[in-house]
Chain A
Amino acid sequence: MSRYRYFPLISAPPERKLRIVEVLGGHGLRKRLFDLGFHKGDEIILDARGLLRGPILVRSVSSDTVVAIGRGIAQKIMVEIISDEE
């Protein structure tokens, strides 16, 4: 799979390791995500629960914290899939 294929978190597959490539959003949004331990380059996993309509659940691999993120915001977080060999 190509390294450069990235897409918004909202359409990422669940239970796969993802890497945050970019956060498209203002200072406030980026800061709140930073604060909770979600930085560019971080590995996260999209939880399979809560995928219907409400907010999504994201788990940070390094800090093992879970955060609920509204769909609008999840649209602004660009991720890529980390392939299994890595």
Chain B
Amino acid sequence: MTRNKYPDIIFIGQPNCGKSTLFNAIAGLKAETSNFPGTTVKHTHSRVNILGHILNIIDLPGLYSLAPGDEAEKVALSHLFYEKPDLIINVVDASSLGRNLELTLELIEMELPLVVALNMMDLAEKKGITIDVARLEKELGVPVVPTVAPHGRGLKELLERAVETLFHQVRPQPLTWSKDVEEAVNQLEKAIPLDFPVVANRRFTAIKMIEMGSQYFYQVLAEINLPLKKRLDEVKKYLEETHNVPAYEVVAAERHHLALKIFEKCAQVARSTKRPLLHRVDDLIMHPYLGYIVLILVFVGFFFIVFSIGSPLEEIILGPFERLRVLLFQRLGHGFWVYLIDGLLQGIGGGLGIVLPYFVPLLFMMALLEDIGYLARVGFLMDIFMHHLGLHGKSISPFILGFGCNVPAIVSTRILESRRDKIITTLLIPFIPCSARTTIILALVAFYLGPFWALGFYVFHLILIALLGRLLSVFFKEPSPGLILEIPDLKIPSLKNIARKTFFQLRSFINFAWPILIAGSIFLGILQSVGADGVINKILSPLVVKGLGLPQELGVTLIFGFLRKELSLIMMIQALGIDYQQLLTVITPAQIVIFTLFVSLFIPCVSTVAMIWKEVGRRIALISVALNLSVAIILSLAARIIFELIGGI
């Protein structure tokens, strides 16, 4: 067995087969679940004791096939190929068995010990699919255990068969394909020298060579073994000529047909004439007109719930922090350390009191919609609008996340297949008012100018995003590849799953954005304690006073805005040296609008910039900063000019 002393067991399955649920039932740990294909980017692992044996179990991202498409799949495959697991547990969705079997067949080709967990048996039954498990086991030549992951049904048997297969190292036999394809693979296999580095086994290596699409691979192969490369070319050419499609498709088609044949042998489908209730609900949700009314209602409700949970929580949590700060300055004066501690307090309080109260409910609601299967339908319904932004329907969920916090929103752009879509979405996300900016909009605009102004602010941001999306897509030659999105059946949500998902999403805020936020706060404390704010105000005064027509004292709050958006608010009040309620005595409503506009647009906060850097690279991060800065300056100048022309608000 492998280098470490415990055997490795890998869980593999197509997206949405219930793999994470099954894995977690065994591991008792948290992992990501999602209805958008391909989001389980991180893999989770755990050391567990199964029937007296200690094993490493590893959950890989969902894969459709062993030919990588997106990044997540590449990650999963390199793990599978190079870490050589001791056992594979292939989780299969019994309710779409035909398609899932294609991956199973490919795994069998690897000839590693394999057990199939035939999951979602309850759904299959509901759909009228009866599966002859014994027959399936015989056809595939590997153990097949029916399971229902959320109820733990079949889990015990699965583990027993897994341990048995693992310790006897039972290896499956690949199933044979059509004669001519089999022949072609065979010939190539013979041409592979004995000392050639193989993946899994020689036949599998030969197949992968045929399927490989990379030009780079062929160049390397030509250099290290020219005769083999020539042989490969011949075999591919033969397959292409006889089948009239690219060689890799010949291979994929073999698996597809074999899978369908096995499916037909082992499963019976009784189509019921009665449409289930959920289907009728679906007719309404997906309706070309009514669907949009439902969509609007759902999202009004969505944000209503998020805010009605968030705003009382914010007050409850921020109150004690404020009192603590006041106490701090009263007791300890205004020394360097006091500012430092104050920065720390504010950083912790800002995360706890401003972001989390809104963000947690938002994530929870998102996970709920996703688990029901509604989010995919939102992607479908919104596709047409997203086209106006030069994107397609899948970008909608990063956008919604952005209203909570931009940082996880940027992480979630990984679900997009094309780099072009990923970049455009990433550049647009910082224009979405996150919960910190919503706080500013509510506190300044809604409080002083009324709720309609605040609503207007939101609408304005959305229009701006649409315009910028159009503008950005001009810079990309190729159009968006377009939407291909699986629409899963609607289902009753599982609370456990939603909680797990919420927690997982939250981690990227807690582990990444929050520490940066705290560091930023402490840095600000230091700036204040050494009196750097005066200097900064002077430097920024041409922009702040001449350009935007704001009091000079507000200059420093802009820097604060980069470190933490919502701090701009606190600092603004502090910088002007007055009580929140008396703001209008020193600053006009028009100035409030200009200030809010500028602060909310001018730069993504530092955590967001860092995340963009990490996800799509430095160049895009810099472009993002430049884009936000220029948009903010242009729009706030424009706002000032308009206000001056019409003589204020």
Contacts and interface: CB of A to CB of B under 8 A. Distances in A.
Interface of A: 27-37, 39-41, 49-55, 57, 60, 62-73
Given A34-B65, A36-B484, A53-B384, A27 B260 contact: no
A68 B287 contact: no
A57 B69 contact: no
Interface residues of B, number: 42
Query: Nearest 9 pairs between A and B by C-beta?
Result: A35-B64, A70-B482, A37-B99, A70-B483, A63-B99, A54-B384, A68-B380, A63-B98, A73-B482
Nearest to B380: A68
Contacts of B127: 64
Contacts of B379: 68
A70 B256 CA distance: 24
Contact of A36 (B64, B95, B252, B384): B64
Contact of A54 (B65, B263, B383, B486): B383
26 contacts: A27-B213, A27-B246, A29-B484, A32-B69, A34-B65, A37-B96, A49-B286, A49-B288, A50-B286, A51-B288, A53-B384, A54-B288, A55-B483, A55-B485, A62-B263, A63-B98, A63-B99, A66-B486, A68-B376, A68-B383, A68-B393, A68-B485, A70-B383, A70-B393, A70-B482, A73-B483
Nearest to B377: A68
A55 B393 contact: yes
A54 to B, nearest CB: 4
Contacts of A51: 288
A68 B484 contact: yes
Nearest to A65: B96
Nearest to B103: A35
Interface of B: 64-65, 67, 69, 95-99, 102, 127, 213, 245-246, 249, 252-253, 256, 260, 263, 269, 283, 286-288, 376, 379-381, 383-384, 392-393, 417, 479, 481-487
Nearest to B256: A39
B63 to A, nearest CB: 9
A69 B483 contact: yes
B562 to A, nearest CB: 38
A52 B288 contact: yes
Contacts of B485: 55, 67-68
B13 to A, nearest CB: 13
Contact of A39 (B252, B376, B481, B482): B252
Contacts of A29: 481, 484
Nearest to B285: A49
A52 to B, nearest CB: 5
Contacts of A57: 286, 380, 487
Given A54-B288, A68-B380, 5 more contacts: A31-B69, A35-B65, A63-B96, A63-B99, A66-B486
A31 B393 CA distance: 19
B417 A70 contact: no
A66 B22 CA distance: 24
